[in-house]
Amino acid sequence: MSEQAREQIRIDAPVERCFATLVDFAAYPEWAGDLKEVQVVETDDQGRGVVVEFRAAAMGRSTTYQLGYDYTGAPNRLAWELVSGDLQRELDGAYVLEPAADDPSVTEVAYELAVDLMIPIPGFVKRRAEGRIIKTALSELKARVEGSPRPSDDD
């Protein structure tokens, strides 16, 4: 098992709005820059995506992977595990959403991620990539939920 990276951000919106954005998988390519295509493969009895396939830009090439989602802690937690992937051995994580202590209309969003690739890469490169994935995911989520334009890579 690889180490887990974690980062946090404040989003000026309630937990429910953040969660609704996170489970609208079909809309991800509109706001998640590295995602080129998303397809819900399997849904649960409530119509929520439980197996979702992603095609993303990664390390100068395209990669395809499927994630299995767990709604046990919804709407305060959205967890996932790698089902299959062409580059990944592990791609497990979660969004943890909590109302801010000082303002319940604001959400503290933590992103946890553990990545392991089939190709060996040095640890510092892997940690840098994990950090970039998390920072980008959180800033793009914040921009989507708050209704501002997608942040550029220069931010």
Q: What domains sit in the chain, N to C, each tagged with a CATH number?
A: 5-146 (3.30.530.20)
The pLDDT assigned to 155 comes to 43
pLDDT band per the 50, 70, 90 thresholds, residue 20: very high
Average pLDDT score over the chain: 89
The pLDDT assigned to 32 comes to 92
pLDDT band per the 50, 70, 90 thresholds, residue 59: low
Residue 52 has pLDDT above 80, yes or no: yes
Dihedral pair phi/psi, residue 135, rounded to 5°: -60, -45
The pLDDT assigned to 2 comes to 56
- Distance separating the N- and C-terminal Cα atoms of the chain: 32
* CA 127/CA 115 separation, integer angstroms: 9
Question: Mean pLDDT over residues 48-70, rounded?
Answer: 91
50 vs 79, 84, 92, CA distance in Å?
A: 10, 13, 14
- DSSP structure string for 61-110: EEEEEEEEEE-TTTTTEEEEEEEEESSEEEEEEEEEEEEETTEEEEEEEE
Q: Are 33 and 132 in contact (CB under 8 A)?
A: no
* Beta-carbon-side half-sphere exposure of residue 14 (alpha carbons within 13 Å): 5
The pLDDT assigned to 153 comes to 44
